[in-house]
Structure 1
């Protein structure tokens, strides 16, 4: 039994010695392999190309859409409505007849006024002839002249009143909901319908006074609306209020937006971007490439298979991207993933295929 225990002890010592010897040899071989294969110690990273794009500097504002023109259609004389020349919500043209009032009484007044003018004209001619022959008086001629002038004035009044029975559109626009029907008797000044011109349509908005030197007439704006979320509309500033609002310290601006399909309506809430500057050939990189460096920012680039630390200055931020205004050039190969293990001068192993250089317009 003692021999058996002794043999087992000797066998265990021999096995442990052999295992230790193998680990020792492996530890000696590993540094040699690392020296002959530098890629084994390189930090794996993903790289990308710098995008070249146009960048717009924008000022954001909130505003409200307003009609280019809007009037309430109302009769200037009282009368009974005999015809309507529109349907609610229709687009009408300038000069189109919208409402027609009964004109029977006014036509009779016009005929009477015409007859009065003819009688006054004949009386005036007779008085003038008598004065020329010496058998009439100058007073009678002057009275006839005055009566003729009064008759002609009454004729013009009758013609004007008769013309007011046809109410026409003063400009091209869209009619709203009517508050009158055929057969209604309407007094003078009663509101019948609203006519609104919305092509083009205006947008009124304000920006802080700090941007006074940045906004100008003719600048392009981009408008988005919650009511039309799938579209972006473009317009131009055409008026800037010369007076700064002292309460909000803001500048009032007005822009015009084409609206041929009438998708935009007065009163809608609008989100506005004013394009105050545009930089061509700006350098754009993914946000993932930018690494914080205290209060500053930096990006790792790959040069000769090693990581190089490049301090950068950032410009405009976009969705998933950022503009680099200083520190890079378009030919550089930037690290987009794996920066946490990098140090300046560390060897890197690129694990992705390099995308082509992109050139695009960034909004």
Structure 2
């Protein structure tokens, strides 16, 4: 057994020697091409230096950035008045058409005045009689033929007659209702000939320019809201438009149920597009930074738990940590770390390290876009 193992080992050694000899001869005869050998004259890749990384570059920009608080609200009329009579009477005339714009002082409703006119005439006659009685009593007292008591009674009767005349005059004037404000009349709920009772609404008069918006914000934002702050309003009826206004009142009492603050703002509405009752999405501008530093969102990269931007210095990229401000659509505000005008890398950061050499390339525009540097 031992001799067999030795014999096999000797045969393997002889076969290996024969193989090496054959490869050497084949290489000399050209049957097998020689493998690559290092040349002392060829420069190494390390001696040539690292290859620059192609990147896209842009400049840090300055633009206004505002902080906003979002809220939901409801549009309300600036003023809304229910036109209703103060006295009972039959409706004789309407001085408007539904949906009309009317001016303050324009006649809107007129009641039947036949009885009221006669009541005023009766009161005027009674006043004339009371005045004559007073003058006679006064004359008698001056001549010493009358008493002071009779004169005082006549004077009281005259005063009462004057009051009845004024009351009848007021009732007659109440039979005509004029518009108290400029506005638009709505849809009337009665017709000519209807007998109206005191307080029965005939129509509603609404002032729409400006229009108000009521909204609420959480009590935690109490220190961020103030009278005079600008707001932006969007409504579903006009999704592509933004309406601007300003806060003019803040409720001094916090709602204990929702722990919210109620605010009210006015919005110019010259074309009367906005209507009371519309649902509104409100943005309150709490702060405006006119010279905020802004970069494309793609320029910001993670650096551990922080954020960073590659700043171009000569032909190299230097990693600079930054503190972010407000996030904007496709952009980010840089609160600390960058200055306006600095050149930064926006594409290609995945292959970069701090100090990596770079080569600027032209950004590729998407369909329908124009490339700007």
Alpha-carbon distance, 1:331 to partner: 3.0
Partner of 2:153: 143
In the TM superposition, what whole-angstrom CA distance separates every residue of 1:223-282 from its partner, at most 9, and x where no partner exists?
122222122111111112222223322222221222222222222211112111111211
Query: Is 1:130 the equivalent of 2:130?
Result: no
The CA distance in 1 between the partners of 2:79 and 2:95, in whole Å, is 20
Residues 1-363 of structure 1 mapped to structure 2, 5 A cutoff: 14=30, 16-17=32-33, 31=44, 41-352=51-362, 355=372
What is the aligned length? 342
Sort the Cα spacing of 1:146 and 1:331 in 2 relative to 1 into closer, same or farther, 3 A: closer
Larger Rg: 1 or 2? 2
3-state SS, counterpart of residue 266 of structure 1 = coil
Return the structure number with greater relative CO, CA threshold 8 A, min gap 6: 1
Note the residue ranges of structure 2 that are not aligned, 5 or more in a row: 1-25, 364-370
Sort the Cα spacing of 1:225 and 1:110 in 2 relative to 1 into closer, same or farther, 3 A: same
Partner of 2:367: none
Alpha-carbon distance, 1:46 to partner: 0.8
The CA distance in 2 between the partners of 1:270 and 1:177, in whole Å, is 24
Query: Would you say the 8 A contact 2:255–2:261 is kept in 1?
Result: yes
The CA distance in 2 between the partners of 1:16 and 1:44, in whole Å, is 42
Sort the Cα spacing of 1:323 and 1:132 in 2 relative to 1 into closer, same or farther, 3 A: same
In the TM superposition, what whole-angstrom CA distance separates every residue of 1:134-191 from its partner, at most 9, and x where no partner exists?
3334443333223222222111111001001110112222221101122222122211
Alpha-carbon distance, 1:44 to partner: 1.2
Report the TM-score, using the length of structure 1 for normalisation: 0.86
Query: Would you say the 8 A contact 1:117–1:155 is kept in 2?
Result: yes
Partner of 1:4: none
Partner of 1:7: none
3-state SS, counterpart of residue 177 of structure 1 = coil
Alpha-carbon distance, 1:73 to partner: 1.2
The CA distance in 1 between the partners of 2:173 and 2:116, in whole Å, is 9
Partner of 1:360: none
Alpha-carbon distance, 1:119 to partner: 1.8
3-state SS, counterpart of residue 209 of structure 2 = coil
Alpha-carbon distance, 1:42 to partner: 1.7
The CA distance in 1 between the partners of 2:152 and 2:342, in whole Å, is 101
Sort the Cα spacing of 1:15 and 1:225 in 2 relative to 1 into closer, same or farther, 3 A: farther
How large is the Cα RMSD of the aligned pairs?
2.7
In the TM superposition, what whole-angstrom CA distance separates every residue of 1:91-140 from its partner, at most 9, and x where no partner exists?
22211111111112211221222122112211221222223223334443
Alpha-carbon distance, 1:70 to partner: 1.8
Alpha-carbon distance, 1:56 to partner: 0.8
Report the TM-score, using the length of structure 2 for normalisation: 0.84
